[in-house]
Amino acid sequence: MVRGAKADRSASGRLALTALSTPLGWLVIFCDGEAIVQIGFCKKQPQLSQAGVFAASLLNEAKRQLTEYFAQKRRQFELPLCPEGTAFQKEVWQELLTIPYGETISYSALASRLGKPLAARAIGQACHDNPISIVIPCHRVVGKNGSLTGYAGGLKYKRFLLQLEAAIVRSSPGQD
């Protein structure tokens, strides 16, 4: 579940981070001690000075769940999430969490599901701005005709994640 406000953040305002090697390369995971606030791709192994002792258990749990996901042993994440964004973005990200593992939905269908049928482009931008890759599954949103379109990590990563989940994917010519 996506939590709402900055008031949910730890009193210290500190962030802890760790990195995880995956089949897609490195993921960097940030948390505030109470919730995951960001997961992003990193092209090379990050040099981390410290993981943040105050958040070690949450970071280790995130790493464990992501490792299980990549090993196809986990279909749903059970992590507290608190991404920063606008109310609209948080609404979109919350709805992304309802898309089942191995399934896709189009941007326009997602917009309709949110009661905003003309907001497909804004939905696409919210997906692009999703700060918690993989766990908030924006990779499961595809073009109206089922084609791969846009992914902040790149279409190669989106295709990999959908194939890992065995979702049916059609790619448009020139979309790689």
For the annotated catalytic residues, the residue numbers are 138
From the list 80, 77, 78, 82, the residue with the least C-alpha distance to 4 is 82
CA angle centred on 97, ends 130 and 40, rounded to 5°: 30
Are 121 and 108 spatial neighbours (Cβ–Cβ below 8 Å)?
no
Euclidean distance between CA atoms 110 and 153, whole angstroms: 20
Q: How far is the C-alpha of 115 from the C-alpha of 15, rounded, in Å?
A: 35
The edge-to-edge listing of strands for the beta sheet with 16-22 is: 16-22, 25-31, 36-42
Number of residues in the chain: 176
